[in-house]
Amino acid sequence: MAHEELKRRQSVMWGAGSFDEVAEFLGDVHEAVAEALLPADGERWLDLACGTGRIAELAARAGATVVGIDLAPALIETAQARARERGLEIDYRVGDAERLDGVEDAAFDSVSSSFGIMFAPDQVAAAGQLARVTRSGGRIALANWAPDGSIGTFFRTMGPFQPAPPPSNPLLWGDEEHVRGLLGETFELSFERRTSPLEWESGAAMWDFMSTKFGPLVTLARSLDAARAAELRGAVTGLGEQMRMGDKVVDVRDYLLITGTRR
Ligand SMILES: C[S@@+](CC[C@H](N)C(=O)[O-])C[C@H]1O[C@@H](n2cnc3c(N)ncnc32)[C@H](O)[C@@H]1O
């Protein structure tokens, strides 16, 4: 599938379900990413692929002047509503991490992205934009799911049910060597492997939540006929049960925290 068509679909897919309820379970990661870039008083901060704006809110509360950009209009609307409710001033825009139209070179002191930039299919273009909009001496913090962690397994479980393989593998953004290849020339990089454990009552509970809240799974399940949808449900439920520890399921969720300073 051509990149532009894929991104058009992704802009709708991420808005399906209720991503903000999924984001609530990423609070520890949002804090880790924001802390990696603090202090922020007076800094110009971009949260790229910001979703419903939870990192943007942390940055704004720390005194930064914040722009949040995301491909999915529905998520930008939720982010705007959240900011209004919280009395925060954040400049939210619908946009593409691969082509940050209207953003000047070196416009930001800090750029963050949690499980965001990794989903842009043209990884070289997205990495190039990250370098373009971060000022010399400015900093980035990115959280990306590790390919060999539980979320990597979750995405691979969905894979056989997809109509076609994606043109690039988002999980490569969780691989240190790959990220060095994308950003090593433009940023001085550091890497830290972390986990964000999440507990479920059962594999079935994990399916019930993710298949109604997490846009990519909601969209995939809706696209299948009843028999295939039941197989997907069985595969995801089974994956959850493989993570059982006694009376609960523990999803370890390994990720790579990448920090960098623009050369
Ligand atoms: C897993 S969500 C993470 C959202 C948010 N960063 C968070 O941690 O709560 C992935 C986000 O990446 C966005 N996204 C995917 N491809 C994108 C692109 N090419 N440009 C900008 N945003 C993109 C999606 O719309 C979605 O909001």
pLDDT along the chain (263 residues), means of 10: 84 95 98 94 96 98 97 97 98 98 97 98 98 98 98 97 90 98 98 98 98 98 98 98 98 98 98
Tell me which of 67, 113, 115 to substitute to probe ligand 1's pocket, judged by most ligand atoms within 8 Å of the beta carbon. Answer: 115
Distance in Å, CA 245 to ligand 1 centroid: 31
How high is the pLDDT of residue 81?
A: 98
Task: Report if residue 225 sits inside a domain.
Answer: no
How high is the pLDDT of residue 30?
A: 98
Q: What tokens were used for 130? A: 């990250």
Residue nearest to atom 5 of ligand 1 (CA): 51
Query: Which atom of ligand 1 approaches the CA of 54 most closely?
Result: 9
How high is the pLDDT of residue 196?
A: 98
**What does residue 69 show for φ and ψ, rounded to 5 degrees?**
-125, 135
How high is the pLDDT of residue 166?
A: 83
How high is the pLDDT of residue 57?
A: 98
Q: What is the CATH number of the domain that holds 168?
A: 3.40.50.150
Q: Chain centroid to CA 20: how far?
A: 12
What is the domain range of residue 158? Answer: 3-198+254-262
Indicate the number of domains in the chain.
1
State how far the Cα of 28 lies from the Cα of 11, in Å rounded to an integer. Answer: 25
How high is the pLDDT of residue 1?
A: 57
Query: Which atom of ligand 1 approaches the CA of 98 most closely?
Result: 19
State how far the Cα of 241 lies from the Cα of 159, in Å rounded to an integer. Answer: 19
Based on C-alpha coordinates, what's the Rg of the chain? Answer: 18
State how far the Cα of 83 lies from the Cα of 57, in Å rounded to an integer. Answer: 7
Task: Report if residue 167 sits inside a domain.
Answer: yes
Ramachandran bin of 28, using left for φ above 0, alpha for ψ from -120 to 50, beta for the remaining angles: alpha
> Which amino acid, one-letter code, is at 4?
E
Q: The whole model's pTM is what?
A: 0.97
Task: Report if residue 240 sits inside a domain.
Answer: no
Task: Report if residue 105 sits inside a domain.
Answer: yes
